[in-house]
Structure 1
Amino acid sequence: MFLNRRIWIVLCTLGVAFGVPTEIVESPDSVNSTLEYDSQFCHPLVIGHRGASGYAPEHTLGSYALAALMGADYVEPDLVITKDRRLVARHDNELGLTTDVSLHPEFADRYTNKTIDGKQMSGWFTEDFTLAELKTLRAVERIPNIRPGNSRMDGAFQIPTFQEIIELIKGLESSQNRIIGLYPEIKHSTYFESLGLPMEQLVVDILHSYGYQGSHAPVYIQSFEINNLKRLKRMTGIRLLQLYDSPDMTPFDQIEKENAPTYADMATPEGLAEVAKYAYAVGPDKSYIIPRDAENNLGEPTTFVHDAHEAGLKVHPYTFRAENAFLPTDCRNKMYPNLSSALGNLAAEITAYFNAGIDGLFSDQPDIPVRIRTGCLRNIN
Structure 2
Amino acid sequence: MRRWSWALAVVIGTLASGTTAQETAPPAAQIGVRPFYLVDAMKDGPLKTELQRCEGRTFHATPFSIGHRGAPLQFPEHTRESYLAAARQGAGVIECDVAFTRDRQLVCRHAQCDLHRTTDILARPELAAKCTGGFTPADPATGTEASAQCCTSDLTLAEFKSLNGKMDGADTSATTVEDYMKGTEAWRTDLYATTGTLLSHKESIDLIRSLGRKFTPELKQPEVAMPFEGGYTQEDYASQLIAEYEEAGVPPEDVYPQSFLLQDVRHWIERHPDYGLQAVYLDDRDETQPGFAITEPASWQPSMQDLAAEGVKILAPPLWMLVEPGEDGGIRPSAYAREAKAAGLGLIPWSLERSGPLADGGDWYYQTIKDVTTTDGDTLALLDVLAREIGVIGVFSDWPATTTFYANCVGLE
- The TM-score range, normalised by the shorter chain, is 0.7 to 0.9
Q: Which residue of 2 aligns with 1:82?
A: 101
Q: Which residue of 1 aligns with 2:227?
A: 194
Q: Which residue of 2 aligns with 1:219?
A: 255
Find the aligned partners of 2:225 and 2:245 in 1 and give their Cα distance. 20
Q: Which residue of 2 aligns with 1:242?
A: 281
Find the aligned partners of 2:299 and 2:259 in 1 and give their Cα distance. 15
Task: Read off the aligned partner of 1:350 and give its amino acid letter.
Answer: L
Give unmatched runs, 5+ long, in structure 1. 1-25, 115-120, 174-179, 251-259, 334-342
Find the aligned partners of 1:74 and 1:234 in 2 and give their Cα distance. 24
> Secondary structure of the equivalent of 1:73?
strand
In the TM superposition, residue 242 of structure 1 has moved relative to its aligned partner by 0.6
Find the aligned partners of 2:108 and 2:187 in 1 and give their Cα distance. 20
> Secondary structure of the equivalent of 1:92?
coil
Find the aligned partners of 1:97 and 1:266 in 2 and give their Cα distance. 39
Is the 8 Å Cα contact of residues 331 and 348 (structure 1) preserved in structure 2? no
Q: Label 1:377 to 1:287 Cα distance change in 2 as closer, same or farther (>3 A).
A: closer
In the TM superposition, residue 44 of structure 1 has moved relative to its aligned partner by 7.6
Q: How does 1:64-79 map to 2 (within 5 A)?
A: 64-79=83-98
Q: Label 1:269 to 1:44 Cα distance change in 2 as closer, same or farther (>3 A).
A: farther
Is the 8 Å Cα contact of residues 65 and 394 (structure 2) preserved in structure 1? yes
Q: Which residue of 1 aligns with 2:180?
A: none
Q: Which residue of 2 aligns with 1:169?
A: 208
Q: How does 1:334-349 map to 2 (within 5 A)?
A: 345-349=378-382
Q: Which residue of 2 aligns with 1:376?
A: 411
Find the aligned partners of 1:190 and 1:138 in 2 and give their Cα distance. 22
In the TM superposition, residue 190 of structure 1 has moved relative to its aligned partner by 8.1
Q: Which residue of 2 aligns with 1:182?
A: 215
Q: Which residue of 2 aligns with 1:10?
A: none
Find the aligned partners of 2:197 and 2:152 in 1 and give their Cα distance. 14
In the TM superposition, residue 299 of structure 1 has moved relative to its aligned partner by 5.1
Q: Label 1:63 to 1:147 Cα distance change in 2 as closer, same or farther (>3 A).
A: farther
Find the aligned partners of 1:271 and 1:140 in 2 and give their Cα distance. 40
In the TM superposition, residue 285 of structure 1 has moved relative to its aligned partner by 1.1
Task: Read off the aligned partner of 2:71 and give its amino acid letter.
Answer: A
Q: Which residue of 1 aligns with 2:12?
A: none
Structure 1 residues 226-269: Cα deviation after superposition (integer angstroms, max 9, x where no partner)? 1121111122211101111151424xxxxxxxxx9968679749
Q: How does 1:1-381 map to 2 (within 5 A)?
A: 35=18, 45-94=64-113, 95-113=115-133, 122-143=148-169, 144-149=184-189, 151-173=190-212, 180-189=213-222, 191=224, 193-195=226-228, 196-197=231-232, 198=234, 199-214=237-252, 217-236=253-272, 237-238=274-275, 239-245=278-284, 247-250=286-289, 268=300, 271-276=303-308, 277-291=310-324, 300-321=332-353, 323-324=356-357, 326=363, 328=370, 330-333=372-375, 345-357=378-390, 358-373=392-407, 374-376=409-411, 378=413
Q: Label 1:377 to 1:262 Cα distance change in 2 as closer, same or farther (>3 A).
A: closer
In the TM superposition, residue 346 of structure 1 has moved relative to its aligned partner by 2.1
In the TM superposition, residue 200 of structure 1 has moved relative to its aligned partner by 0.9
Size of the aligned set, in residue pairs, is 313
> Secondary structure of the equivalent of 1:165?
helix
Structure 1 residues 137-182: Cα deviation after superposition (integer angstroms, max 9, x where no partner)? 1000014123442x12334122211111111112112xxxxxx210
Find the aligned partners of 2:292 and 2:238 in 1 and give their Cα distance. 23
Find the aligned partners of 1:291 and 1:122 in 2 and give their Cα distance. 38
Q: Label 1:49 to 1:286 Cα distance change in 2 as closer, same or farther (>3 A).
A: same
User: Between Structure 1 and Structure 2, whose CA radius of gyration is higher?
Assistant: 2
Q: Which residue of 2 aligns with 1:7?
A: none
Find the aligned partners of 1:81 and 1:107 in 2 and give their Cα distance. 17
Find the aligned partners of 1:193 and 1:152 in 2 and give their Cα distance. 39
User: Structure with the greater relative contact order (CA < 8 A, sep ≥ 6): 1 or 2?
Assistant: 2
Is the 8 Å Cα contact of residues 268 and 307 (structure 1) preserved in structure 2? no
In the TM superposition, residue 288 of structure 1 has moved relative to its aligned partner by 1.2
